[in-house]
Amino acid sequence: MATASSSTCQAVRVERVDFAVPCPAGTIGPRFPSWQQAVDHARGTITRFEYRGHLIRRDVPGYHPRRYVQEEDTLVVYSRAFVHLRVVEPVQERPGSAVPSGMDGVAFTWEVFRDGTVETCPDTRDHDPEAPGEEGAAARQLESAGYQILDRGWKSTGGRLDIVAAYGTTLIACQVRPRTTGAVISRAERGRLQRLAVAWMTARGTSFDLVRLDLALYYTDEGQCAIEHIPGVG
């Protein structure tokens, strides 16, 4: 197996993590330093709607038993409320570009109900038990190079982290791709992966000094899966 290293490893720094309650118009809405404050605020925004002479239909889009209630001949529907975990990357001027770097995006989403209960949005998953064989090969190579594998195939609202690893005090988010795709990650993709890494730390209740984005490029070498590890891409 071949291993490549990069002489210019780029560590991603996070300016802050906060919790926002999105407005119905789609804007970010108010932000809070704690999850519970955001949940309490979101709960207070829920509105009750009454429809006399209507009955519950469980086949309507968005139906949820905590939001649809039948009170005699009146259908009661409660509006939806969400809390977003948002990750903010510091804004930095980029040489030769009028557009500064820096991302502010959603890494995780919860729905809040009128009774104070909270559910992770339905498209969030915790693990993918059937990670491709290339990911297994990449994970084994990282382990042999001294990395500690923490997770594989972790999914959140914002996407999927193929491999989550640790190297000292640095968290590694490593994506596994065919070598034909190249060793480049766009700024938008870098921001998305950064937010996913922070969401992973939040879900696991842990933290690291730095977050680094790596690639593991796979190809076939004499009939065997070979891995080229590219640290610090972006």
pLDDT band at 71 (very low <50, low <70, confident <90, very high): very high
pLDDT band at 41 (very low <50, low <70, confident <90, very high): very high
Average pLDDT over residues 10-34: 75
Rounded CA separation 125/117 (Å): 19
pLDDT band at 5 (very low <50, low <70, confident <90, very high): very low
**Burial profile 66-84: b = 16 or more Cβ within 10 angstroms, e = fewer:** ebbeeeeeebebbebbbbb
Instruction: With respect to residue 173, please indicate whether it lies within any of the assigned structural domains.
Output: yes
Query: Parallel, antiparallel, or unpaired: how do β-strands 170-178 and 210-221 relate?
Result: parallel
**In terms of domains, do 164 and 205 share one?**
yes
Q: Is the pLDDT of residue 3 over 50?
A: no
**In terms of domains, do 23 and 115 share one?**
yes
**In terms of domains, do 113 and 129 share one?**
no
Average pLDDT over residues 112-125: 76
Of 51, 86, 120, the domain-final residue: 120
Q: Is the pLDDT of residue 42 over 50?
A: yes
pLDDT value of position 74 = 92
Average pLDDT over residues 41-56: 90
**In terms of domains, do 114 and 132 share one?**
no
**In terms of domains, do 64 and 111 share one?**
yes
Rounded CA separation 93/75 (Å): 54
**In terms of domains, do 140 and 210 share one?**
yes
Q: What residues make up the domain containing 141?
A: 125-230
Whole-model pTM?
A: 0.55
Query: What's CA 121's distance to the chain center, in Å?
Result: 12
Q: Which residue has the higher pLDDT, 28 or 197?
A: 197
Q: Which residue has the higher pLDDT, 204 or 118?
A: 118
The length of the chain in residues reads 234
The count of structural domains within the chain is 2
pLDDT value of position 157 = 77
**In terms of domains, do 84 and 177 share one?**
no
Q: Which residue has the higher pLDDT, 185 or 224?
A: 185
Instruction: With respect to residue 67, please indicate whether it lies within any of the assigned structural domains.
Output: yes
Instruction: With respect to residue 38, please indicate whether it lies within any of the assigned structural domains.
Output: yes
Instruction: With respect to residue 71, please indicate whether it lies within any of the assigned structural domains.
Output: yes
Among 133, 121, 109, 203, which residue's Cα sits nearest to residue 164? Answer: 203
Torsion angle, alpha carbons of 117, 123, 125, 131, to 10: 180
Instruction: With respect to residue 1, please indicate whether it lies within any of the assigned structural domains.
Output: no
Residue 185: CATH number of its domain: 3.40.1350.10
**In terms of domains, do 226 and 129 share one?**
yes
Instruction: With respect to residue 156, please indicate whether it lies within any of the assigned structural domains.
Output: yes
Q: State the average pLDDT for the chain.
A: 79
pLDDT band at 32 (very low <50, low <70, confident <90, very high): very high
**In terms of domains, do 175 and 94 share one?**
no
Among 100, 61, 105, which residue's Cα sits nearest to residue 86? Answer: 105
Q: Is the pLDDT of residue 234 over 70?
A: no
Rounded CA separation 219/16 (Å): 38
pLDDT band at 99 (very low <50, low <70, confident <90, very high): very low
Looking at the chain, the whole-number percentage of residues with pLDDT higher than 90 is 20
Q: What is the DSSP string of 165-210?
A: EEETTEEEEEEEEEGGG-S---HHHHHHHHHHHHHHHHHHT---SE
Of 120, 140, 165, the domain-final residue: 120
Looking at the chain, the whole-number percentage of residues with pLDDT higher than 70 is 77
